[in-house]
A and B are shown apart, each in its own frame.
Chain A
Amino acid sequence: MTHLSAFSRRGFLAAGAGIAAVSVVGCSSSTATGTGSGAAPGKASMWGLSGQPNEKILTDCVTAFNTMGKGTVDVTFFQNDAYKQKIRTAVGAGEAPTLIYGWGGGILKGYADAGQVLDLTDWIKTQSAWKAKFFDSPWGAGTSNGKIFGVPTNNTQPIVMYYNKKLFDQVGASLPTTWDDVMKLVGTFNSKGIAPFSLGGGSNWTSMMWLEYLFDRIGGPDVFSNIYAGKKDSWGDASALKAYKMVQDLVDANGFIKGFMSVTADSNADLALLYTGKAAMMLHGGWAYGAIKAAQPDFVKTDLEFGGFPSVPGGTGDAKNIVGNPANYWSISAKASEAEQAVAKSWLLDGMFTDTVIDAFISSGGVPVVKAAESKIANSENKAFLSFIYNLATSAPNFQQSWDQALGATQAEALLNNISQLFSKQIGPDQFATNMNATL
């Protein structure tokens, strides 16, 4: 401790000398640390993910809120992978935005345990009418130790299969329903010079979606539940090993587009491969529909098909189970000032899910996590996709949260790293199990 105070004194001198020499110091105002003004409603800062359509929806939402006179929200956008690292550094530096965006689960738990996000349980208890507007199921992933730290937002995002119908018609094939169908299609498309699956292997969490589904289809939800509970050797479960092998068989059969390890999902490069006709199929989240629609609306109208993940012959998992993100979550930084937190709460109550916002989500192709969505879906031009998603989400016996969000940061990093090696065939199924078991 004395060590720290000793160098901060010297550091202060140095800083003084440095600042004297640098006349222009631009201090950011969007991450103000507690210099709240008095009576007028204050400001809150927010970080969101860049990429359409959600970027525009959030921007419009915030702009509309700012005219309500309940405070001003300042939003900054980051791309997905950079965001995940930057938010961590920001929280650690005590410079987190007031409203922190996330996916709940273990990462949120980490923030909660470190006292970095507000416990919203009591506040939400006083807002029961507002809480009743949401779906019931997503609250779970925003809760830790019985306390609520994250408010559900955005759309429910199961992972589904997307198909380029035009390419299917071209080769005269029909959509797959079982894994055997999938492997046959791989052969068919490759022989016609079409990549079977698009995959943003460089982002790793995209590859992870394959394992999530295979675990479930082969051995049911318990395979991952054991891992989540920290049960010894659970990564080496027979179903898990089978999943690793199947994935590598798919890679060996050239199931994924050439160079997939260099494609990242951040800027939707993987989606581009589907809608420019380079690949025939893709496993991706529900949000991809909206992104493809924003980039190429015609494709969505005429050539896009979708479906659930195929079943695996001999597997015990229910084919109606889904994986993905039950919702996204907003948390409030515990280090923000009272004024900033108040504005944040106002936004959550009055700005986040206005009718306009709900409509915007629906017309972009998403199912927002509010009960009001159900009736609006029937009138939307995206009815086919949205009812598909809605039914999937509401009738699934089990909705497994994305692993890299359910697990804590260290485990998640190890997982993504090993997945990268598994998919690039640097390690085999047994080595993957061994490596991951070591993190339990």
Chain B
Amino acid sequence: MASATRSRDTPLAVLVLPSLLIFVSFAVVPLFGVIALSFTKWDGIGAILPNGLGSWQQVLADPQTWASLWLTIITMTVTWAIQTPLSILLGTFLAGHQRYRGLLGVFYFLPLLLSSAAIAIAFKSLFDPNFGLGAGLHIPLLSQDWLGVQLAFPVVLSVIAWQFIPFHTLLYQGGVRQIPVQLYEASQIDGANRFQQFFHITLPQLKYTIITSSTLMLVGSLTYFDLVFVMTAGGPGNATRILPLDMYIRGFRANQMGAASVIAVFLVVLGLGIALGVQRLGGRDKTASQLEGL
């Protein structure tokens, strides 16, 4: 009996090996690599020198680190606060089966087709203070210095919203479509109007979707790099220097790989923390997934 089970185990365990090998090599080992590198000093072209807590002290003492962390926290909260309600509303809207809504849906999902680089470039042109849409239309209100110091950050957050609301709308659309109609019919008999139905039926039923979407949103906005890099490269000044950009700038522009690795460790810890935290809040199992900046 025992030998029969064991002989069934060995071949099955072998099946996991290719996946495990490549995952360990290129995901787990770099993870430890990041931790190890954070205790070194390396300029990218010379030797890697052990540095004890030197890089840690440098990064923790640098006000930019905290400024970047603060920007990242704002990114996460504002992203969630804007994208979630809008996505829920749009998802609910699209879950209805009227023909025209289906047609609108085809267009709503177009932003999903564009890569982050494409979106960043398109909006960068659109917002150019001298050659963009506002300047070309000669409308003063639209000719602000959109990517200047004051407005760059809100503008970037808005573009991120433009990019990702369609995705979350899709999730919520699926979620709403799974709500049994009997609930609505029963409430109608009780005399409920549309708003009451929304708040007392739709939202509670969407709990699981909200948790999934929120996890994706929060972890995704923590690590978001592509669009911000192409649009503003962290600038002007440090106006859009969120943590992933801070990591890139420290490592590949200021040539301080040790310091960049410290920031990377922050990202990992925060990411893990958020993923675990939200899942625990929701009390559900592990279907959290990593959206690597679609």
- Residues of A at the B interface (CB closer than 8 Å) are 3, 7, 10-11, 13-14, 17-18, 85, 88-89, 91-92, 110-111, 113-116, 201-202, 257-259, 261-263, 273, 278, 409-410, 413-414, 417, 420-421, 424-426
Contact = CB atoms under 8 A, between A and B. Distances in A.
Interface string B228-251: 000000011111000000000100
The 5 A-B residue pairs with the shortest CB-CB distance in the complex, in nearest-first order: A259-B129, A413-B254, A114-B46, A14-B25, A261-B236
Nearest to B29: A7
Contact of A10 (B21, B148, B237): B21
A270 to B, nearest CB: 11
B25 A7 contact: yes
30 contacts: A7-B25, A10-B24, A11-B25, A11-B26, A14-B22, A14-B25, A18-B22, A88-B255, A89-B44, A92-B44, A92-B45, A114-B46, A202-B235, A258-B130, A259-B128, A259-B147, A261-B147, A261-B237, A262-B128, A262-B129, A262-B148, A273-B130, A409-B43, A409-B253, A410-B43, A413-B253, A420-B237, A424-B239, A425-B149, A426-B237
A414 B254 contact: yes
Contacts of A417: 237-238, 249
A14 B44 contact: no
B36 interface: yes
A273 to B, nearest CB: 7
A273 B26 CA distance: 47
Given A17-B21, A410-B255, 10 more contacts: A10-B21, A89-B44, A114-B46, A114-B47, A116-B45, A261-B148, A417-B238, A421-B237, A421-B238, A424-B239
Contacts of A13: 21, 25
B149 A261 contact: yes
Nearest to B124: A262
Nearest to A13: B21
A369 to B, nearest CB: 27
Contacts of B208: none
Given A261-B149, A424-B148, A88 B252 contact: yes
B133 to A, nearest CB: 13
Interface in B67-112: none
A3 B237 contact: no
B204 interface: no
B44 A424 contact: no
Nearest to B150: A424
A295 to B, nearest CB: 15
B145 interface: yes
For this complex, into which size category does the number of interface residues on chain B fall? 20 to 34
A11 B255 CA distance: 26
Max chain A CB contacts within 10 Å: which of B47, B128, B254, B256?
B254
B263 to A, nearest CB: 15
Interface in B148-193: 148-149
B254 A262 contact: no
A45 to B, nearest CB: 18
Contacts of B249: 413, 417
Interface of B: 18, 21-22, 24-26, 29, 33, 36, 43-47, 128-130, 145-149, 235-239, 249, 252-256
A261 B22 CA distance: 44
A309 B43 CA distance: 36
Given A258-B145, A417-B238, A85 B252 contact: yes
B45 A114 contact: yes
A264 to B, nearest CB: 9
B45 A257 contact: no
A424 B45 contact: no
Max chain A CB contacts within 10 Å: which of B33, B237, B254?
B237
B44 A85 contact: no
B145 A91 contact: no
A284 B64 CA distance: 31
Contacts of A413: 249, 253-255
A114 B47 CA distance: 8
Contacts of A259: 128-130, 145, 147-148
A88 B24 CA distance: 28
B29 A110 contact: no
B235 A420 contact: yes
Contact of B256 (A11, A114, A262, A410): A410
A284 to B, nearest CB: 17
Max chain B CB contacts within 10 Å: which of A18, A259, A414?
A259
Given A10-B21, A259-B129, A89 B236 contact: no
Contacts of B236: 201-202, 261-262, 420, 424
Nearest to B145: A259
A13 B22 CA distance: 8
B21 A85 contact: no
B245 to A, nearest CB: 12
Nearest to A111: B45
A110 B149 contact: no
A309 to B, nearest CB: 25
Given A7-B25, A421-B238, A426-B237, A262 B45 contact: no
B237 A89 contact: no
A334 to B, nearest CB: 11
Contacts of B256: 410
Contact of A91 (B36, B45, B47, B147): B45
B66 to A, nearest CB: 15
Contacts of B18: 17
A408 B130 CA distance: 34
B186 to A, nearest CB: 54
B253 A85 contact: yes
A47 to B, nearest CB: 15
A414 B252 CA distance: 13
